[in-house]
Amino acid sequence: MEPLIAGTQPARRELAGLAMAMVLAMSTWFSTAAVLGSLRADWSLSTGQASWLTIVVQIGFVLGAVASASTNLADRIPPLRLVLLGSVGAALANASIVLIDGFAGALVARLVTGACLALVYPPALKSISTWFVERRGFALGAMIGALTLGSALPHLINGLGGLSWRFTLLVASGLTILGGLLADRLCTPGPHSTPPAPFDRHQIGHILNNHHFRLASIGYFGHMWELYAMWAWIAAFYGDVFESSRHASFAAFAAIASGAAGAVVAGLMSDRWSRPRAAGIAMKWSGATALFIGFLVDLPAIVPVIAGLVWGFWVVADSAQFSAVVTESCDRRYVGTALTLQLAAGFVLTVFTIFLVPVVRDAFGWGWAFALLVPGPVIGAVAMHRLERDLVGAA
């Protein structure tokens, strides 16, 4: 069968359907970050405890991803069925916080939420890559854009005002189940799918020995050093910009959601030029914005809002291109394992920056807290330059 490209009706339909599923399914990720102000008041949380409500999701994702990668789970179970299973698990764990109504139990629930989401994100990327050979950068960019919108959605729900934190968490959980059902019931495997692969304990070693995988992963690690700390704390930053918590929620939603457009634009750039070049451009812009945005906190609100839109646009724009390199350079039978392995390692780094940003903020202010994130995109951009050179040399 000839490769399907973005212009064919079946491929476009699958991309639209799976992207919508991701918008809904990923809404539980930052659901507690969106209502953090209310949780801090109700549960008398310290700054450190508030950080852990997000950090533990990242740890859970790493644990789930490591378990999936070490057992080749993402290549042994049909990816769309895995998306459904992970979505249901994440939704139930997230909704249980309403019944638990306490910090210690919420930590466990959020850990399970992250572990289950590790069964949603990587399989979805694998599934859409089976529909696109040409213009894969655009397709994966659209998927990351959907993930970005899903991550921003709780801020929009919270910004509507008059809603309890319990209602916000339950709505996010319901949307996650709906997303999993949409993926499993309405989406289908692409013409470039591979049969379920047998368990092979040697595959991780083969993947790690792939030079392009390693360079793409270094770029991804730099990207992750910055991204999730920005997403986790941008609402708190805008809480210091605005007197109204509703305005802060809407500003946070807009900043994060702008990344959906950025991911699509970078995907188009990567198909026209190259994956590393597009990722490198995005990292330079996001790193430059991270360097100064925190120092704008006391200026008129329109200034940090515009800066946040620029940062949000570029901070996630590069994400899909690291995954695209993996799908194009690793054994097709074990792409799910390779993606999950890269994601697991990258999410370990997010734990440090999510924890450090509020610590540095309390000591030195938002300017230096966000400047702490700059080394990530700098290192990532260097790795992308090397990968671009290697790919040109191999052509």
pLDDT at 177 exceeding the cut of 60: yes
Contact 229, 358 (CB under 8 A): no
**pLDDT for residue 294:** 97
Spell out the long-range contacts of 147-150 with Cβ–Cβ below 8 A and sequence spacing 24 or more: 147/22, 147/23, 147/26, 147/121, 148/256, 148/257, 148/259, 148/260, 148/263, 148/316, 149/23, 149/257, 149/260, 150/22, 150/23, 150/24, 150/25, 150/26, 150/27, 150/29, 150/179
- For the domain spanning 9-394, the CATH number is 1.20.1250.20
Work out the pLDDT band at 6, boundaries 50, 70, 90.
very low
Work out the pLDDT band at 142, boundaries 50, 70, 90.
very high
What would the two tokens of residue 368 be?
């230096």
Which of helix, strand or coil describes residue 317? coil
pLDDT at 5 exceeding the cut of 80: no
Return mean pLDDT, the chain. Answer: 90
Q: What is the mean predicted confidence (pLDDT) over 37-46?
A: 90
Phi, psi of 131 (to 5 degrees): -100, -20
Q: Which residue has the higher pLDDT, 16 or 327?
A: 16
Rounded to whole angstroms, how far apart are CA atoms 198 and 334? 10
Rounded to whole angstroms, how far apart are CA atoms 348 and 275? 24
Rounded to whole angstroms, how far apart are CA atoms 77 and 66? 16
Please, what is the angle between helix 335-364 and helix 121-129, to 10°? 130
Q: CB 189: neighbour CB atoms within 10 A?
A: 15
What confidence tens digit (pLDDT) does each residue in 48-105 have? 898 899 899 989 998 998 888 778 777 788 889 999 999 999 999 999 999 999 999 9
What confidence tens digit (pLDDT) does each residue in 214-232 have? 999 999 999 999 999 999 9
Work out the pLDDT band at 330, boundaries 50, 70, 90.
confident
**pLDDT for residue 395:** 56
Q: What is the mean predicted confidence (pLDDT) over 95-124?
A: 94
Q: How far is CA 145 from CA 151, 256, 296, in A?
A: 10, 10, 27
Would you kindly state where each structural domain of the chain is located, as residue ranges? 9-394
What confidence tens digit (pLDDT) does each residue in 248-297 have? 999 999 999 999 999 999 999 999 999 999 999 999 999 999 999 999 99
Nearest to 83 by CA among 35, 37, 24: 24
What percent of the chain is predicted at pLDDT more than 70?
94
pLDDT at 197 exceeding the cut of 80: no
Work out the pLDDT band at 199, boundaries 50, 70, 90.
low
Tokens 């929620």 map to which residue? 249
Q: Say if pTM beats, i.e. exceeds, 0.75.
A: yes
pLDDT at 3 exceeding the cut of 50: no
* 254 contacts: CB under 8 Å, gap ≥ 6: 305, 308, 309, 312
**pLDDT for residue 196:** 65
What would the two tokens of residue 268 be?
């188009």
Work out the pLDDT band at 4, boundaries 50, 70, 90.
very low
Q: Hey, CA dihedral for 354, 343, 180, 59, is it positive or negative?
A: negative
pLDDT at 30 exceeding the cut of 60: yes
